[in-house]
Structure 1
Amino acid sequence: MSDGASDAVTPDTVVVDGESLTPEDVEAVARRGARVEVAEEARAAVVAARERVDEIVESGQAVYGLNTGFGELVDTRIEPSEVEQLQTNLLRSHASGAGRTLDAEEVRAMILTRLNALAKGYSGVREVVVDYLATMLNERIHPVVRSRGSLGASGDLAPLAHLSVVLLGEGEATVASEAVGDDDSAPNGDGGRERLSGADALATAGLTPLTLAPKEGLALINGTQLTTGIAALLVVDAERLCEAADAAGALTTEVTMGTTANCDPAVHRVRPHGGQAAVAEHVRALTADSEIVESHANCDRVQDAYSVRCLPQVHGAVRDAVAHLREAVAVELNSATDNPLVFDAREADSRATGTDDAVVISGGNFHGEPLALRLDYLVSALTELAAISERRVDRTVNPNLQEDHLPPFLAADPGLDSGFMIPQYTAASLINEMRATGRPSMDNTPVSGGQEDHVSMSATSALAAKSALSNARTVVAVELLTGAQASEFVDDALSHGRGTAAVYELVREVSPPVTDDRSLDDDIEAVADAVAAGRLEERLADAV
């Protein structure tokens, strides 16, 4: 029940047309190696936009990024003989990032989303630039990209410059090692991949370094593609995590002898938030036919604790936050985000720069604010998802809160064994880290001599959200493990629900019951990996 998510089978080929790219397409290319093809109508749009740029260049008018300096140097006119060098210098100078190198899926997401933006036909690059980007994806040439340096306006400049200098034969990229093979799940430079100079990496696909034409350097780096690529993957991962969190909460509800009366449709009809209703329906489906739930339908407990009773309200609000991000990502994936943009004269009202047939307009589509704010919102939402999950873990292991059938900390021999005492500590630690995460979009540092005086910090928001999602996934994995362990102490004669039975079985496939104390770090990681890979989601789709 992933609100707004596609249930389509992962495609083998993604057609890039500038109009229809989805988060699921990004995952298919970034993580699963789907090939890309550029639609013929997109090629025609790219060719037409390039002709407009050539026409404006020939007119001799001063146009930002074509024959002027950049940022504060906008008023510096570049001689016609130097306009090609201008684009090369732009990429070289802007490839000045820092921090870890991006992993393969992050780089591939960046290439794909930049390719799609250029394919809209408002950036003015030549068709050969589009073809080189597509070939890099299909031949698995992954530029070595520094993760830090973007301010989210004028786009993700430094990371995109590190990516784009490889087109010039400069910088570095990783390629598959013939001796070892290719492992795209590993960070760049690992997993059997060989690190080469840009020129040598291009040569593995039969490509020679490009010489950039006017506007092309700026078009390659002036966009939100680090932010957008990570955000697209986050949408998929967050929706998958919401499914897993519902499943963990449903299992906890069962093993703590809670009730699903809180999921009665009547409750949610009178407060009709979409996410809340969807979660209530999901929990009812997960616990359908549960003999454990039915066994205490008439018990003396009047109400469950908030972490169980308010599960639909909290999980539902998180789903709504994820849907809010998906909405922005869907728009951003298929937007022209560089500056300036090139239009047919009939499309634009402005005539400040251009000819009778073509107009160049400087705007701010590179500004990452539409994503930055929602990515920070996602961090808050995921923190709450993890927080309520950890509270349910505590109710399951805490001897002061447990039901009588559960031993302290779910230990086989409490005292001699500590059982699940420390996994709850781990969850608490991860939540503390999430709560300490700042909200980068609230910050601003003027740059470029004050010309770029308000920035979004969207890439920092994206990287922070990715870290928060990983932490939240681990917390939910702890709850799934805890629920499965608690199940070992429930009357064997009572069966789980249709969905919770599938949850229990999947957990047990990667983590056997704890009968004596052992290290659980590998168990936690294995369950988290099963959630990340979509295995739990697939199992539940078959069960409910």
Structure 2
Amino acid sequence: MQISGNELTIADVQRVVYENETVSLKTDQLKKVKQSRKFVEEVLSTEQTMYGINTGFGHLANVTIDQEDLEELQLNLIHSHACGVGEPFSEEISRAMVLLRANALMKGNSGVRPVIIERLVDLLNHQIHPVIPQQGSLGASGDLAPLAHLALVLMGEGEVYYKGTRLPAIQALLEENLKPLTLKAKEGLALINGTQAITAAGCIAYLGAEQLMQQAIKIAAMTVEGLEGIRDAFDELIHHARGYPEQIEVAKQIRELLKDSQLTTAQGEKRVQDAYSLRCIPQVFGASWQTLNYVKEKLTIEINAATDNPLIFAEEGKILSGGNFHGQPVAIAMDLLKIGVAEMANMSERRVERLVNPQLNDLPAFLSAKPGLESGAMILQYTAASLVSENKTLAHPASVDSIPSSANQEDHVSMGTIGARHAYQIVRNTSKVLAIELICAMQAVEYRGVERMASETKAFYEQSRKIVPSITKDRIFSNDIEKLSNYLM
């Protein structure tokens, strides 16, 4: 796959991150990169003052740096900003960060030498993934701390994941015959002054959420069968009457999944109306789908954006300082993603309760083979409730918070990286809640009669049963939840 800085898609990110697709640079676009670098060097020769190129950073922007100290300025920048803490991002997110940083630099507005971008691509193609601590970014002035840890690797410093091992970056570079780079004027700033930590974590969270949405619809359809739900609630007349495309689509998918089911019931056959957690699946899941569409739109823009400062416009002869590094557009999108995915889990947990609570159905209490002697799925619901409650805490919007930094020069920040990290955690939690619902739904349809299931849900049941067996007696369910959660993602 070739990158140009302008055409990357979320699907491209998925292929590079999860399928290790080889990345190369679009030759025509490299001309703009070279032109941009040439312009920086020309302006440097005039000793014109340019932020971050021959000045200090942040509150120190008014300090002019001598020409002979420009390389040291960039080295000091990376060293001083590499102060991330906490557990590292996953290798998937680290890999996405490298891809997105390379793509942003390819736009030709950052003033770096082509070798910087080429080395980022080398990391991808040799599967050398920087170890990047998760905590420490304010999501404005760019993801400074996380991206500084990425930049260290280009210099032969820091740590990486390589061939299943965490080791010093220099070892991996030397094994792949990659020479550490010395950063020239502007290059350190160009590497760290961007939104790639927010956006990379956001892309991985989005991809997981997108996958879970499709799985959640299938699981919910199976639960409808397990509870002999009323199919009339999914009639297209109802959903076209409201008009939301996503709601209409969810209802359509459920109708298609259940079209030949003998376990669903008609309105008034067993009850007049189902509880909201069954009847309102299209309305709630449709709303969550709306948030996914919004998030995808914003991420698609951001992964092709120039987000460092200053920006180089060689053709116009301008070097302009602005604020494209401010993560607010993605920060708000991440907060919406958190809410949308958390709601999927909220509704799923309520369906789990309806599946296990003997006061709400005619199934064996807690789906147990021997109620009383065995607890069955009782504590599965506890775990789902715990995860849902944790999601509610994580879903608090990060983007409404701001703490000034750099002696109040940077007086409003997005906190978007916190939002993206929490979105990813909510996605992981939700996969476990959905796994619990699937375990309970499969047990319920077995009591009803698997042979009476719809052909689509039955095929899904049979595939899922290869991963988690029936509950014939109490066992340690933790492993089942984890295995099924990984399968759903």
Q: TM-score, normalised by structure 2?
A: 0.97
Q: Is the 8 A contact 2:206 2:337 kept in 1?
A: no
SS in 2 for 1:120: coil
1:319 counterpart (286, 289, 292): 289
2:186 counterpart (198, 215, 225): 215
Using the alignment, how far apart are the partners of 1:270 and 1:106 within structure 2? 41
1:147 aligns with 2:105: no
Using the alignment, how far apart are the partners of 1:234 and 1:102 within structure 2? 12
Partner of 1:165: 152
Partner of 2:385: 428
1:92 counterpart (51, 65, 79): 79
1:118 aligns with 2:75: no
Q: After TM superposition, which residue ranges in structure 1, 4 or more long, deviate above 3 angstroms?
A: none
1:450 counterpart (398, 401, 408): 408
Q: Output one character per residue of 1:396-446: Cα deviation in whole Å (capped at 9) or x when no partner.
A: 1101101x3x11111111111111111000000001111112321111110
Amino acid at match of 1:154: S
RMSD of equivalent CA atoms: 1.3
CA drift of 1:486 comes to 0.6
Partner of 2:260: 289
CA drift of 1:210 comes to 1.0
1:459 aligns with 2:417: yes
Q: How many matched pairs?
A: 488
CA drift of 1:42 comes to 2.2
Using the alignment, how far apart are the partners of 1:332 and 1:447 within structure 2? 24
Q: Is the 8 A contact 2:159 2:166 kept in 1?
A: no
Q: Output one character per residue of 1:85-129: Cα deviation in whole Å (capped at 9) or x when no partner.
A: 111111111001111122211110100000000011111100100
Amino acid at match of 1:389: S
Partner of 2:303: 333
Partner of 1:36: 23
1:254 aligns with 2:225: yes
In the TM superposition, 1:25-64 aligns within 5 A as 25-64=12-51
CA drift of 1:521 comes to 1.0
Using the alignment, how far apart are the partners of 1:139 and 1:376 within structure 2? 34
Using the alignment, how far apart are the partners of 1:120 and 1:195 within structure 2? 32
CA drift of 1:194 comes to 4.5
Partner of 1:239: 210
Using the alignment, how far apart are the partners of 1:101 and 1:526 within structure 2? 23
1:508 aligns with 2:465: yes
Partner of 1:299: 269
Amino acid at match of 1:454: H
Using the alignment, how far apart are the partners of 1:495 and 1:39 within structure 2? 55
SS in 2 for 1:206: coil
Partner of 1:488: 446
Using the alignment, how far apart are the partners of 1:373 and 1:257 within structure 2? 39
Q: Output one character per residue of 1:12-38: Cα deviation in whole Å (capped at 9) or x when no partner.
A: xx2211111112221222222221111
Larger mean Cα displacement after TM superposition, 216-225 or 517-526: 517-526
* Gaps in structure 2 of 5+ consecutive residues: none
Amino acid at match of 2:284: V
CA drift of 1:173 comes to 2.1
Amino acid at match of 2:437: E
SS in 1 for 2:371: coil
Amino acid at match of 2:428: S
Using the alignment, how far apart are the partners of 1:194 and 1:161 within structure 2? 18
CA drift of 1:147 comes to 1.2
Q: Is the 8 A contact 2:132 2:149 kept in 1?
A: yes
1:263 counterpart (221, 234, 237): 234
Partner of 1:414: 371
Partner of 1:363: 322
Using the alignment, how far apart are the partners of 1:527 and 1:269 within structure 2? 34
Identity of aligned residues (%): 44
Amino acid at match of 1:451: Q
Partner of 2:165: 193
Partner of 1:400: 359
Q: TM-score, normalised by structure 1?
A: 0.88
Q: Is the 8 A contact 1:224 1:368 kept in 2?
A: yes
Partner of 2:336: 377
CA drift of 1:297 comes to 6.1
Q: Is the 8 A contact 1:168 1:209 kept in 2?
A: yes
Q: Is the 8 A contact 1:342 1:360 kept in 2?
A: yes
Larger mean Cα displacement after TM superposition, 271-280 or 330-339: 271-280
Q: Is the 8 A contact 1:285 1:498 kept in 2?
A: no
Q: Is the 8 A contact 1:143 1:172 kept in 2?
A: yes
* Gaps in structure 1 of 5+ consecutive residues: 1-13, 177-191, 347-357, 533-544
Partner of 2:314: 344
- Change beyond 3 A, Cα 1:210–1:286: same
Using the alignment, how far apart are the partners of 1:66 and 1:225 within structure 2? 21
Partner of 1:77: 64
Amino acid at match of 1:51: K
Using the alignment, how far apart are the partners of 2:23 and 2:151 within structure 1? 18
Amino acid at match of 2:364: P
Q: Is the 8 A contact 2:267 2:273 kept in 1?
A: no
CA drift of 1:160 comes to 0.3
1:526 aligns with 2:483: yes
Using the alignment, how far apart are the partners of 2:333 and 2:291 within structure 1? 8
Using the alignment, how far apart are the partners of 2:185 and 2:216 within structure 1? 50
CA drift of 1:264 comes to 1.1
Using the alignment, how far apart are the partners of 2:421 and 2:270 within structure 1? 47
CA drift of 1:491 comes to 3.4
CA drift of 1:221 comes to 0.3
Larger mean Cα displacement after TM superposition, 23-32 or 307-316: 23-32
Amino acid at match of 2:88: T
Q: Is the 8 A contact 1:26 1:109 kept in 2?
A: yes
1:280 counterpart (251, 269, 281): 251
CA drift of 1:471 comes to 0.6
Using the alignment, how far apart are the partners of 2:333 and 2:421 within structure 1? 13
